[in-house]
């Protein structure tokens, strides 16, 4: 028997038992546990920072790039932010028990479709300790047990966060096994988690495109893909060009390392002469490297010739691909070819163009005269999110508490037979 | 290049193009196409029966069991039933364009979550030609293109049905490529369909447990599992025993070959003395073989000793596993161990028992004082169904038109940036 596999399966079995009890926990108990966990994290700040310091030291010694260490490193403010995140989750309404639909049939059978937890969730993610607290809180509130398989680079930090949260929720009367760490030291633990069909109900990968593709390829447990965003901004013939400039700059530069940042710019030829020189200058001033077609290259010698690979790339950096298109149809065709189905934006004052664009692209979110950066659970008013789904099944777009549930039909009769 | 693979991919590409156009087809156009297809199927009855006769003859020659041939064989009534099924689908409301939720944020951004088609659906199914017309109709109405990969045993029947439907929907102005047959002569075509991730959005297997498991194991395209039903009836200590007898008999015997038939009976020990002899006699009179525990065996020498394998078996025949349990908790534990998460029924007059059972089992549907046979889209008033999902993601229970959709967030601003 493979020891790592047995560890993962044993954790999943304990999670199932915890999930069964958590499924019927009233909202008050779950909120009390979340608030207790928030307080406990703040109280344990020194311990968390000590554990984190070990991870950061090891990362430095192994030559980890600075921006990766920046994501890994904690301070008192970040711990306070975890805690606030849990308090925000406590303040959200509880999706469990919601009657999604209900009716009484002509024969008197009463039908209710009731929202229930999914069960046991596996999270596979990279070196951001904030995901640990966030995911644990979202799963707890939605009545799910969670198996947290973070990066080995954050193992000490994650272990400390999970220990504090387990103790707090147990003290609040909920099962500690609802939150468990899957050891990351052995790479095979992630594989066994993905292969634990029947023991684990859903795997959610959160991280870069490579991680997500690996999980999709290897998992026999159902997966929700999150987060790869090759987002486009299309500036239509009928665009307000001042607005377009603001939206392009905000979508590209407000934060570059996130999935809802723009990676590609398309401009209708009717406004190319007026807009391309302006946007090239503004992007250059913002430090953005432009991979552009000849129309863009003509505006500035610093523009790099664009390739299909550039059009397909999620840069997550101050880089953008750019091209002039002959028509709205061509813009839609380009987007359909290169899209990751996350967020596509159009800037236009034409209602018909907005409708045609919305119907034509195939994305979790379409922005009309707004920055791509709004595809975000908090920005859209849904509260905490566990990720942004770019697939079509189960959930599409920001995944909040409701998306962490399934339903049961409860059918009540008085001896009904067919 | 593998020719079969290229055929499947080419069909999927044509389906994608058709799906893009179908996604924005108004309800009137889709309903007109469905009604035209219904009329065309009836008008083509002779041709369909000729094609079917070839399949049936080949099946007879190859020694196919009679009950399988019964499913395959068509007559004028069955063709009329296909047509009526399409007319019923036309009468259902159109889920596409429904606003699932919407709001205006404090900053003025307007958000709408809009129901849209999934895109390209692959159906993999066994030798029932009715699935061909049903699935094509449901996919068309929900705006999806469908790739129909039926059994080679029904290839001529399916080809004839599909040809008639394609011609009818094309004449009604919708793309014929929205309905395509994937050749079944080569077994690898199903494999290539399941592996066409990115080209096909969803695969739905419909058939026996073996087919469904094979699809789940092999598919890289997201799958919705349908239909395996190891359904239980639990007779509680507080059951009305006359009602319990009716529900057990109806659940087991009203139709045995379907997924919502009962396969297992559990009886609380408090009513075992009063109920077991009655139910054993009634099941025996109905021709049902009982695989029972000692309490059942004591009631009738014809009872066969039950094994764990029997408890795990979906008989789909006049057979049932049966046991007496010490408590409601034990009944729930037994069901959790052997359930296929389809439908579980309790017979009880106790509100507390009904609640505890509902919370404890983990099923797509829970029947309280009603036959398991009610887990069915038509019976529950949802109209046509493409299958009954026994998984938790995306859809659980009968899958109608709504379950064949996903959503897009459409966010409208006036130049909003973050």
DSSP states along B254-267: S-SSSTTSEEEEEE
**Does pLDDT of A213 surpass 90?**
no
**Does pLDDT of A227 surpass 80?**
no
> What confidence tier does B127 reach under pLDDT thresholds 50, 70, 90?
confident
Supply the pLDDT for residue A216: 86
Contact A292, A304 (CB under 8 A): yes
DSSP states along A129-175: HHHHHHHHHHHHHTT-EEEEE--GGGHHHHHHHHHHHHHHHHHTTS-
Domains and CATH numbers, chain B: 3-226+394-412 (3.40.605.10), 231-379 (3.40.309.10)
What is the mean pLDDT of the segment spanning B117-121? 97
DSSP states along B49-105: HHHHHHHHHHHHHTT--HHHHHHH---HHHHHHHHHHHHHHHHSPP-TT-EEEEEE-
User: What is the average pLDDT score of chain B?
Assistant: 95
**Does pLDDT of A208 surpass 90?**
no
Q: Coil, strand or helix: which one is A362? A: coil
Most confident stretch, A1-5, A56-60, B220-224: A56-60
Contact A201, A118 (CB under 8 A): yes
> What confidence tier does A199 reach under pLDDT thresholds 50, 70, 90?
very high
With an 8 Å Cβ cutoff, is B411 touching chain A?
yes
Q: Which DSSP letter does residue A418 get?
A: -
Contact A111 B380 (CB under 8 A): yes
Contact B413 A103 (CB under 8 A): no
What is the mean pLDDT of the segment spanning A46-66? 95
What is the mean pLDDT of the segment spanning B299-307? 96
With an 8 Å Cβ cutoff, is A194 touching chain B?
no
With CA atoms as reference, the chain B residue closest to A372 would be B417
Supply the pLDDT for residue A373: 97
**Does pLDDT of B289 surpass 70?**
yes
Chain A neighbors of B365, CB-CB under 8 A: 408-411
- The b-or-e profile of B236-269 (16+ CB within 10 A means b, else e) is bbbbbeebbbbbbbbbbbbebebbbbbbbbbbbe
Over residues A87-135, the pLDDT tens digits come to 999 999 999 999 999 999 999 999 999 999 999 999 999 888 999 999 9
Q: Which DSSP letter does residue A287 get?
A: T
With CA atoms as reference, the chain B residue closest to A254 would be B418
**Does pLDDT of A187 surpass 90?**
no
CA distances from B217 to A84, A219, B2, B209, B393 (A): 42, 10, 22, 12, 17
Task: Outline where A286-417 has alpha helix (H).
Answer: 294-297, 308-311, 328-338, 351-360
What is the mean pLDDT of the segment spanning A25-39? 97
Supply the pLDDT for residue A1: 67
Over residues A287-309, the pLDDT tens digits come to 999 999 999 999 999 999 999 99
Supply the pLDDT for residue B1: 67
> What confidence tier does A146 reach under pLDDT thresholds 50, 70, 90?
very high
User: What is the average pLDDT score of chain A?
Assistant: 95
**Does pLDDT of A217 surpass 90?**
no
Supply the pLDDT for residue A24: 93
Supply the pLDDT for residue A254: 96
**Does pLDDT of B68 surpass 90?**
no
Supply the pLDDT for residue A257: 87
CA distances from B50 to A248, A374, B69, B82, B156 (A): 62, 58, 15, 16, 9
What is the mean pLDDT of the segment spanning A257-273? 96
**Does pLDDT of A173 surpass 70?**
yes
Contact B222 A391 (CB under 8 A): yes
What is the mean pLDDT of the segment spanning B152-161? 96
Share of chain B above pLDDT 90, in %: 89
pTM, two decimal places: 0.92
What is the mean pLDDT of the segment spanning A156-168? 98
Pairing of strands B319-325, B262-268: parallel
What is the mean pLDDT of the segment spanning B137-144? 98
Supply the pLDDT for residue A158: 97
Chain A neighbors of B260, CB-CB under 8 A: none
Cβ pairs A/B, distance under 8 A: 195
What is the mean pLDDT of the segment spanning B304-315? 97
């Amino acid at each position: 028997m493979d020891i790592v596999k047995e560890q993962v399966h044993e954790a999943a079995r304990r999670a199932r038992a915890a999930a069964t009890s958590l499924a019927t926990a009233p909202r008050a108990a779950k909120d009390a546990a979340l608030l207790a966990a928030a307080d406990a994290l703040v109280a344990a700040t020194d311990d968390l920072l000590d554990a984190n310091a070990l991870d950061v030291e090891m990362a430095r010694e192994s030559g980890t790039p600075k921006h990766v260490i920046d994501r890994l490193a904690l301070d008192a403010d970040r711990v306070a932010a975890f805690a606030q995140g849990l308090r925000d989750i406590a303040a959200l309404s509880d999706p469990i028990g919601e009657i999604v639909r209900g009716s009484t049939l002509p024969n008197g059978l009463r039908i209710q479709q009731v929202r229930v937890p999914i069960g046991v969730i596996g999270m596979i993610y990279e070196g951001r300790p904030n995901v640990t607290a966030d995911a644990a809180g979202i799963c707890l509130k939605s009545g799910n047990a969670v198996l947290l398989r973070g990066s080995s680079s954050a193992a000490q930090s994650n272990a400390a966060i999970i220990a504090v949260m387990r103790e707090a929720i147990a003290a609040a009367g909920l099962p500690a096994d609802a939150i468990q760490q899957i050891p990351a030291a052995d790479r095979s633990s992630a594989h066994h988690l993905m292969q634990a069909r029947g023991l684990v109900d859903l795997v959610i990968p959160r991280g870069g495109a490579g991680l997500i593709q690996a999980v999709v390829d290897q998992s026999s447990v159902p997966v929700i893909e999150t987060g790869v965003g090759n987002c486009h901004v299309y500036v239509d013939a009928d665009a307000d060009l001042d607005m377009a400039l603001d939206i392009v700059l905000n979508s590209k530069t407000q934060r570059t390392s996130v999935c809802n940042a723009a990676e590609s710019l398309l401009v209708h030829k009717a406004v190319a002469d007026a807009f391309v020189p302006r946007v090239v200058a503004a992007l250059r001033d913002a430090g953005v490297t432009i991979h552009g077609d000849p129309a863009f290259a003509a505006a500035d010698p610093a523009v790099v010739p664009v390739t299909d690979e550039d059009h397909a790339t999620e840069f997550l950096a101050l880089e953008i691909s750019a091209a002039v298109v002959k028509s709205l149809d061509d813009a839609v065709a380009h987007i359909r070819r290169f899209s990751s189905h996350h967020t596509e934006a159009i800037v236009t004052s034409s209602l018909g163009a907005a409708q045609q664009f919305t119907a034509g692209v195939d994305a979790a979110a379409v922005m009309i005269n707004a920055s791509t950066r709004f595809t975000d659970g908090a920005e859209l008013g849904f509260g905490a999110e566990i990720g942004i789904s770019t697939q079509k099944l189960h959930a599409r777009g920001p995944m909040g508490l409701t998306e962490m549930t399934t339903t049961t039909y409860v059918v009540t009769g008085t001896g009904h037979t067919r």
